[in-house]
Every structure is written in C-alpha cells, then in structure tokens.
A and B are shown apart, each in its own frame.
Chain A
Amino acid sequence: MAEEMQLTNTSANNFEQCLKCSICTVYCPVSAVNTAYPGPKQAGPDGERYRLKDPDFYQETLKLCLNCKRCEVACPSGVRIGDIIQQARMNHFTHRPKLRDVMLANTDFVGSMVTLVAPITNFTLGLKPVKVVMDAALAIDKHRTFPAYSGTKFERWYKKHAAAEQDTFAKHVSYFHGCYVNYNFPKLGQDLVKLMNAVGYGVRLLEKEKCCGVALMSNGLYKQARRQGETNMASMRLAIERGEEVLTTSSTCTFTMRDEYAHLLGIANDDVRAHLTLATRFLYRLIDEGSVQLAFRPDYKRRLAYHTACHMQRMGWAIYSIELLRMIPGLELDVLESQCCGIAGTYGFKKENYATSQAIGESLFQSIADANVEAVVTDCETCKWQIEMSTGVPVENPISVLADALDVEKTKKLNGL
C-alpha cells in the first residue's frame, strides 16, 4: 500500500499539518483588536506556502504579531504558528533595526550602563518633557514608564552578601537571574536565595550570563541573540556537569532559552533543556515528591490574583506557580482567566503598538479591577509593568510572595537544617 510508504507527514514547524480550522485566529489577541493584522493562520501556515514560492509574499504586517504563542496552544494539529511567523520575520525582514529598537533590545548593555547612574536615569526617564521627547524622537510611547533601575546590580549584591554562605550547603542549584533581576529588581533574586536556602539548597550564579535575547529577537538582532544564547548554554552546561539544575524566575527568559533557541536560532540545547526550569516548577516537584517542605507564617493574610502570562500558558507551567501559592494558608488566591496583557516585552513600548497593546489588555485590566485584590501575582516581568501601569495594582512574582509568607526558621527545621 502506498500509504505505508508515508508513515509520517512533517514540514518545517509543521506548517503543512495545518487543517485550516482557524481556531488559532479565534485565540489571537491581536486579531481581536487590530484588523490590519492578517491573523496567525494567514501570517503563519497560509503565508508560508507562498513565501516558499516568492519571498515578496512576506508582509510587513507580520510585525504586529506579539509572539504570545497562544495560537500554538490553541492549535489541535501541533503547528508551531508563532515560530513560523518569527522565522518569516527572521528570513525576510532585512532592514537594519532602528536606533530605538536597538536600545530597547539591548536590555543587558543599556542596563549595565544605566545602573551606574540609576537615580539620575530613573528621575530623568520619569520626567514628562523627557517622555515627550522620547515619544517624538524615538517613537517610544509617552504613556510608558521604564522600569526603575536599581542602584546595585543583583550580581554585585550576591557577591558581597550571599556568595560565601552558599558553599556551606550540601545541595546546589544554579540561578539564571535575567536582566530584570540584575538591573531593575534585585529583590526577586534575593527572595529566591532566601527560599532555596531555607529548603537546603545553595544558590550559585552561572559562570557567565547574558541576556536571554528575547528582546533582540523581536527587534531583528538575531546574530547577537545567537551569540548570547551560545554563551548561556555553555555556562549552563558547566552547571549541569556539576550536577546543578538551572533555575529561573522569568517565564519569558525560560521559554526563550528552552524553546526558541532551538526552534528559531538553531542553538542545540537538547542536553540543557531538561535541566533548565522555572524555580516554582522545581520547588513544586520537590515538595510533590516529598523531599522538601515549606512552612508559612501564621500571621500571613493576603488576597491576591494570579495572572497567567502567555509564555506560562505555552509551557503549561502556570499550574506549578498556582499550586505553590495555594499552599500558603493565609493566602486567598483568585486565578484570573488566562489572557494576554498586551505588552509582549518591548512591543508595547513602541508608539505604533500602544493602542493595540492597551486594547488587548483591556479585558484583563477589567477582570483585575473586578477581582478587588491587594496585588496580582505573575511569573513575567513585562506583564508586571503593563498591569501596574494600566491598573495601578502592584504586581509580584510568586517567588517573592512565597519568600514573604515563609516561616524561615520553621522551614529550615522541617528540612533538617
């Protein structure tokens, strides 16, 4: 039989396995608010067939894709629609990125420069006239506030206050902190160290850590992203050889390094992927298998809402963060319907995307307002900026919530320390 000759049908990113059911378009947050976007089905598998014939079928409107990957979650045929669109942008968008995009993309470089003069930068970036100038000259939307830069980098804090003590532990994990923790919010890194130390794990930093490259990729700087990715993978291999798992506290960095490195940048990461995980997932699994226990402060009492970031949805890992939070007796947790907040990293900072970005987030903002909570919990830092700006409700990472609720002494005792 002829059919036995073709036991599988495959294609790049499975684009040809699309059955044209169109459910991806139903779940696309951009299609819902911006008719200029052709939608994931046409931008992805449909367009791909014609781009193979003639690259001129590439359309500029593909830039409107957020790369939220909700289309891939919806697809019943395993088509990597988001990857197809990103790949098309990589292959066909040949202009040099604008100055603004280079600045937004280089979170690492800009971060280390700015940290040196953080108070001035924070003050200046917050000034209305500066915002107006950035809006006009760089097309960075004036409604946006840049995340404040911290005066002390996480890495420096770690060396000074934490590094020595980590060696005293019997077991270790490595921590990929990411740009946000390093330059803007070292507290999250400190919370992770507190939490892991309490359950008996020393936290080490990687030999060399570079920005995961997600912002570079979405701004067209692929070569640089690939270089940085290779550096990260090499450092992680060293950690894995020492027998350490590599933990993260940012869903997007994690997703980029686990999935987009291989799919889009062609970085071989098979050996690293299984050892690279979000801290909440690592912790939940330890608790689930009974090897560690957490104890919480009896006086802790808060009402919070959990927001599932798009890449958490794509990885299917929101459940770990949610279940961990639910272990806190004094915490009343409202799990919000999973939907995109609209920021998508640097996307929402661009003036041309501001309206789309806010329209996408509108329904989420409303549900947060209706939830009437003290704070929102999410695993993604850019969701945090968007939600805080758009709703005024503070946003925290689950690791910080856990660290705050933790009874450190009791936890240590439970874990035999």
Chain B
Amino acid sequence: MNKIYSTHYDVIVIGGGATGAGTARDCALRGLKVLLVERNDFTNGATGRNHGLLHSGARYAVTDGESATECIKENMILRRIARHCVEETDGLFITLPEDDLAYQSTFVEACRKAGIRADVLDPAEARRLEPAVNPTLIGAVRVPDASIDPFRLTMANVYDARLHGAHCLTYHEVEGLIINQNRVEGVKLLNKFTGERAEVRGHITINAAGIWGQRIASMAGAKINMFPAKGALLIFGHRVNNMVINRCRKPANADILVPDDAVCVIGTTSDRVPVETVDDMRVTDEEVQVLLTEGEKLAPALATTRILRAYAGVRPLVASDDDPSGRSISRGIVCLDHESRDGIGGFITITGGKMMTYRLMAEEVTNMACRKLGRDVACTTAETPLPGSEPQQEKSIEKTISFASRAAQGRHGALADEIKADRPSDRALVCECEGVSVAEVRYAVEKLHVHNLVNLRRRTRVGMGTCQGKLCACRAASLLGRFEGDPERAKQQLAGFLDERWKGVKPVAWGSTLREAQLTATIYQGLCGIDHAVTRKEGEQ
C-alpha cells in the first residue's frame, strides 16, 4: 500500500464507474502513470444501476441527434472491443394503437440521419422475431440495440488498466484535495477498511465521480450545478424477451425492456431528487406501479412474471455553463477544464454523458490531460480489445461442459480460462441459480478486487438469481471467511448482504417473491439464528 500511496502519478482519477475505469485504462494505455480511486466498490453508482442497454442511439435520434450519432459510433466500437460484455440482441421500437404511427417515419428518418440502421417491420414479422412483444402493435422498427453488462465492462477496463501499470484502489474516499497556489496537486485519501489516511500526489486530478462530482469539485472551490435524476427499474425473474423492446414515441417513463443475462429489466422512471438523498435510493410503490403499467404494454407477459427486485440509480445531469439560471440541462458529454473555467490548475471534471459513451468521455478527458502534461500520444481504446473479449473456442463443440463453466465463460469471456477448477471441490456450486463455482469465487477474490459479498455479487452474479442469496449467501460468506481467515467478519458480511438483498426485494414482495423471502428469513433467522449471532457481536463492541 505504501508504494501505491508514495508514487507520484501523472494522473489521479476519482471515481470507479465506467467513466473512471475507462479513463484510467486510456491513461495507462497511453503510458501515463495513473491511480484510480473509488470510495466504495467499482460500479457502485449509476454505472451499476441502469438498464444494461447498449443503445443504438435510436432513442435520442429525434430529440438529440448529436447524442444519437455518438451512441451508434460507440455501439459499434463496444461490439468490437468488449465482445464478451455485449449480447447482440437488436432492438424493436414498437408503435401501439394508442401511439401516433406518424411518429414512426420521423423516427426512421432521424435514425438514418444519425447513421443508425432502422428497418421498418411488418407487425407480424415483429411478433415472429420477438414472440413476447405486445401483439396489438401496429408498427415496429428494428435497430441495432444490444444488451451490455456494465459490471463486466467496468471490470475489464480496470483489469486492462492494471495490466498496463495502473494502480487501482477501492474503498478509498477522497476527503479533500491537495491544493497549492491554485493548483490541485493530489488527493487526501481515507482507507475505509483500516482508517488509515494518506496524501497522494499527481500532476493532474480527474474528477469522474458522477453525481458525487459536484462535491469533489467544491473541494477545489469549483462550482458545478448538478441535478440528480432518480431512475427506478424492475428486474424480472427470467427473460421474457430476447430483443430489446422500446416504445416508438418521445422518450418517456418505463419504455425500455432489456434482456440482461438470465433476467429482463424494465425502466426507467425519471424524477429530480435532492442531492442529499443520492446515497440511499429507495424505490417507491408509485414507481413500481408506473413501471408495471407501462411495462405490460411492451410485453404483456410481465403482468404475471415474477419480479425479483427493484432498484434505482441517479443520473448525473449537469447544468449548462452558458445558462446563468443554472436550470438548463446540458446534453451530452461535459468535460470541464477548471484551469480555464475557474482558474484552478491540474484539475479536470468529466461528467454528463452516459454509460454508453464512457469510452468517448475517457478519450476526451485523457486528451485534455495529455495536452496539459505535454504528452502527445494518440488514443487507441477504440481499436484495442478489452481483456476477455478475445475470440474463444467455438462453444458448441462440446455439450458436456458444465453449467458453471459455460456461465463463467459468459461472465469473463476468454479470461474464464484463468479459473482453475482442477479438484472436484473447486467445481462445487456456490450459487446455483447463476452457476457460480468455488473456483470462480476464488478467481474473483484473487483478481477482481473482491473484499465483500457485494463486490463478489457484482463480479460473479452470486446472489443475483431468483433465490436472491438464499442458498448462496451462506456458502459465499463461508468461502470469503476462509480466504480471508476472518470468520467473524464473514458473519457480519452475511447479515449485511441479506439486508441489501431484502432492500431490493421489499418494494416487490408479493407472490412467489414473497414466498421466497419468507423461506430465506426462516432459514437465516429461524434456523441459523443470524440476528442473534450478529447483534451480540455488535453489543460486545
């Protein structure tokens, strides 16, 4: 740790979302000495709380041509460089009887102008391609939408940054900036595990903290006006659809249904929320109602499909610099050079944008950093594949490969070869819903910054299946306890993890999901006495 703290960096990146990780990777690929710091876990913010949709850009084509063009370009790039994170599903924009069919031609024209392939389909053809779609549709357009896993995408960037010499720290909070004569010269870090504090220095500090970026900027005395917009989503227990389904109308609430891995996700709502609430987002009953009502219009089967959980993220919308009222929202990517803007040297903020355009954001901000550092190195991230996306052997050659190995290949791409499962005990399943083996847990702990069960869940999908941790949480906690040699901590973790799962289940706790939750409670509280075990521990402290 001392070496990490004492290095003098070219660039320090604050924020472990897709943008921060992408920036760290871009800097590292360009030969810069870079440190990435994240106060919680990677993907803890908006990166990990969205649809997992690889936009074609069609959604923005009519209202925001510039964003649409950006999206389709990045869409095509990500299919190449992040093959293992993308599932090429394609998407439909459907017109329902209550919608105006005239909008379809406006939409198709705008898509074509932005360079987005948009094929008008006969409704019967749309029903054949996607049997789950609302059969009453009167129009459909096929576009190159896809599904993307933001957790994998971010970790692949972190992994590659590290391969190129970057240092990456999670659970390190920036408590302040080191400022000297109107220059940011580094960050003041708090290690949230050990309580240790350190000052780490770098020529350039990049603020990629998403919605938390407003606070980081204020540490340097810069003012950014952010408008946190809460977006709630629902996860269904299995894939109802195999293509992304959108409504062909002006973007509105709950009009996108995305198939992600073994589930599908409907979203989102959009509501401004106070900045103080962004660390604790809860989904309300009204939001669930909106999502269900609108979701059923896309795919009627959602009306009877079990909902696994609800979650919400916060979009970091930024006020335009050129609007004195501060109310007008800036569209697209915002890259602020605080030297020219606020007279604060060595400090850049990258924000706005979308998960979709993280790579472009990283490219822009790294370009700016390079200019400031006087380093003339071109960006290569649009061509350089991310680790894991290398071609794999033809997967259909053998059908005997186990469920867990195949699932792991889906999650880690070619890197799955690094998961060594030589002994039968390594092949034992930890998470049965998602097919996570002991070996995969070990791999995640060793290679993917796993310190707790939530980290493990994001890296491997442990606990993301229909049982929401009932069978796997206990096994995973026991493994972490064994790998880390701290069973007491594992017990605390287990209780924390179950609480975290329940938080998402609670807004949708009825039907099969409620029965499942009751069985979980009976096992952990009634049978294992977890409340007793954990409360007593706290009492002793």
Binding site for B on A (CB under 8 A): 1-3, 5-6, 8-11, 15-22, 38, 41-42, 46-50, 52-54, 56-61, 77
Contacts and interface: CB of A to CB of B under 8 A. Distances in A.
Interface stretch (B48-56, B221-229, B507-515): B507-515
B466 A52 contact: no
A6 B432 contact: no
A19 B519 contact: yes
B300 to A, nearest CB: 12
A9 B406 CA distance: 29
Contacts of A11: 237-238, 304-306
A2 B238 contact: no
Contacts of A20: 432-433, 466-467, 470-471, 516
Interface size class of B (residues with CB under 8 A): 35 or more
Contacts of B515: 19, 77
A16 B292 CA distance: 18
A50 B306 contact: no
Given A8-B511, A52-B239, A17 B306 contact: yes
B2 interface: no
Contacts of B400: 59-61
Contacts of B288: 2
Nearest to B296: A5
A61 B509 CA distance: 35
Given A6-B511, A9-B304, A56 B403 contact: no
A381 B305 CA distance: 41
Nearest to B310: A2
Interface of B: 237-239, 242, 259, 261-262, 285, 288-289, 292-293, 303-307, 395-396, 399-400, 402-403, 406-407, 410, 432-433, 435, 465-467, 470-471, 507-513, 515-516, 519
Contact of A17 (B239, B307, B403, B512): B512
Contacts of A9: 304-306, 511-513
Given A6-B292, A16-B238, A47-B403, A56 B465 contact: no
A59 B435 CA distance: 13
Given A20-B470, A50-B407, A10 B262 contact: no
A49 B400 CA distance: 18
19 contacts: A1-B289, A3-B509, A5-B303, A6-B307, A16-B306, A16-B512, A17-B306, A18-B466, A19-B512, A19-B515, A38-B403, A46-B435, A49-B262, A50-B435, A53-B259, A56-B395, A56-B399, A59-B402, A77-B515
Contacts, number: 111
Contact of A53 (B261, B307, B396, B467): B261
A54 B470 CA distance: 25
B304 A6 contact: yes
B469 to A, nearest CB: 10
B376 to A, nearest CB: 45
A50 B262 contact: yes
Given A6-B303, A9-B306, A52-B238, A1 B433 contact: no
Given A38-B403, A59-B400, A49 B285 contact: no
Contacts of A2: 285, 288-289, 292, 507-508
Contacts of B239: 49, 52-53
A79 to B, nearest CB: 10
A22 B239 CA distance: 22
A19 B238 CA distance: 14
